[in-house]
Structure 1
């Protein structure tokens, strides 16, 4: 018999991510990889509008499904048989969604994606209904509001299948805003008991996974170019610069113990929602490196400047977003506060370096870490950028 699903304590000691949560995250790597690959193809083929808009929409679907599960698990993870089975069903939905990504990009056919999302969301509704069954009073009403909100939004996503292709972006904007509003509406009477350290760890682990996917995408691009051209003098600066960017991104993100900042729902929601840009920009850097490699060998329909921007713009966006929602809460004085915003501008300036842009951006990112470490050691603060 399954146990009653009751809220876990927010001050629970030694709370950590479970193996099931890590397995859940790995399934999302497939979806992230598919979205990044399609973004790279769209940019390389000279269709930036189609590539970027499609990427933003599909990455939203991936990120939002992951985020919903992560916050629910932080509050209600029972790790019993029923909980595990329903979570595995959600993972199956992620893989179905990932399989539909190429069709959605190429033909604006969202049927497979919608069905995969349906599987994920119905499983999520089941979890919330189970939480409502094990709760009473305001907590029960909160769980029921979540179940209703998720259901209504899933119905709204039918617009992807029923409306003409030119209306699809509007469906994403409207229903996406409704999705973002569900937590605020559901928790207006009572807040769920998410665990700050657990949530911070979950986001950190997903950041590592996305960084890993970026490295994998860049490695495949370099390998493919080597197989065709064997031009190390062209590839090494791009590969080296990309690696420096990823290493610096890791250092910058994990510079501060962010769980100390997550004290209220308002702080946590702003921080959590902001990670759409954090995760999305990191994954886009990998796609940008693919484009830079393709352009350097004349296999992309865009200029060297545009190819450089495919790397520098998401890298700068990552730095600025991490500073805005994450790092600035632990910084002391104007010098530490200015490191990331200034570095983001310098990374953007590297766009004008043409074929040397990726290496230049990597060197700027490395210098950012070095300056941050120096300032932190002088002021006796945390380790970092």
Structure 2
């Protein structure tokens, strides 16, 4: 671990994600699965707020590890070993998530401090001179946030949330107030890592929904609802991977290195938070909706489903705006249409809401694709 990286800004630009990094992403996405299960068991506004708060804090450090491996490839036994230690820390965070407020907050806090320290050590020891100096500039902020998380774990009641909100404010605001000088962004690797975590999260949502349906009566109506649920998940996949994944990488790659890091932080850091939280809530809503027959949904279930899809699309609208991609308003329109289906689940039936989301959201996305094709936009999925 004593070697210094000699990579220059243009070296190894086309390096893709390694299988160890994919393994790391799988461990991180287990956290998303835990959040989905936690909300499914307690679908309340307080639970949703707690999940959003904890996820945003965890995402900050996961994103930090993406920046780390973007700079320092896990190409030596020492680096791989330290990265595995970081994976263990994230796995511990995931295990503590369901009961972080009521009993496992101490474990959560210390695990968060652990992944923060591992991140800083590997960046400082194995990064280049500029990256090492950069990590030292942001380390006090990261440590301050981690200490807030530890103290919050020992606190009780409202004090716990105050400490955790403090941690989020520290790590959320500080990057916008400081310079990104010293970090080198390799676009292909960086975008691939974020795309991987997104597609794994979408896939995990299918697993999470499916595991809760084993006891349901498998009649025709059941399979129609399953098909509608899978369609909604497919629509969420298509909305990003049909065009925006490819166009986002190209837009980021076209920026000069001095502007690339700040834009990447906003587009793939901040904007991915609502997208991934949308997957959490949509998956929980699907789990509560599928298999319910003609029953009307509770407000919690209907709002989780429509709100999760809407949150995902709103995050994508912000992603488009941050990278200068066309028509972010079309994703906002799709988000509004998703929210409007809530009443169908509550007053008609849950499967009707599922069908409505699939139709109106997919319709909005198809219209957006047609507009793009007529404007000359192309992607690997929309060749021609």
Deviation of the 1:182 alpha carbon: 4.6
Q: Label 1:8 to 1:16 Cα distance change in 2 as closer, same or farther (>3 A).
A: farther
CA distance in 1: counterparts of 2:262 and 2:48, whole angstroms: 29
Note if 1:260 corresponds to 2:250: yes
Q: Label 1:248 to 1:50 Cα distance change in 2 as closer, same or farther (>3 A).
A: same
CA distance in 2: counterparts of 1:126 and 1:328, whole angstroms: 31
Q: Is residue 114–residue 157 contact of structure 1 (8 Å, CA) maintained in 2? A: yes
More helix, by proportion: 1
Deviation of the 1:231 alpha carbon: 4.7
Note if 1:149 corresponds to 2:141: yes
Choose which of 365, 369, 376 in structure 2 pairs with 1:369.
365
Aligned to 1:198: 189
Choose which of 77, 81, 86 in structure 2 pairs with 1:90.
86
Aligned to 1:248: 235
TM-score (norm 2): 0.86
Map 1:214-293 to 2 at 5 A.
214-224=205-215, 226=216, 229-233=217-221, 235-254=222-241, 255-256=243-244, 257-262=247-252, 263=255, 264=259, 265-271=261-267, 272-293=269-290
Which deviates further from its counterpart, 80-89 or 138-147?
138-147
Q: Label 1:100 to 1:377 Cα distance change in 2 as closer, same or farther (>3 A).
A: same
Q: Per-residue CA shift, 1:341-374, capped at 9, x if unaligned?
A: 2222211111121221112101223223332332
Q: Is residue 295–residue 307 contact of structure 1 (8 Å, CA) maintained in 2? A: no
Deviation of the 1:328 alpha carbon: 8.0
Q: Is residue 14–residue 186 contact of structure 2 (8 Å, CA) maintained in 1? A: no
TM-score (norm 1): 0.86
User: Structure 2: any 5+ residue segments left out of the alignment?
Assistant: none
Deviation of the 1:186 alpha carbon: 5.9
Note if 1:116 corresponds to 2:132: no
CA distance in 1: counterparts of 2:111 and 2:165, whole angstroms: 20
Q: Is residue 120–residue 139 contact of structure 2 (8 Å, CA) maintained in 1? A: yes
User: Structure 1: any 5+ residue segments left out of the alignment?
Assistant: none
Q: Per-residue CA shift, 1:79-116, capped at 9, x if unaligned?
A: 212211110000011111122123225x2530221232
Q: Is residue 213–residue 283 contact of structure 1 (8 Å, CA) maintained in 2? A: no
Aligned to 2:99: 103
Kindly tell me the number of residue pairs found equivalent between the two proteins. 366
CA distance in 1: counterparts of 2:10 and 2:291, whole angstroms: 49
CA distance in 2: counterparts of 1:232 and 1:51, whole angstroms: 34
Alignment RMSD: 2.6
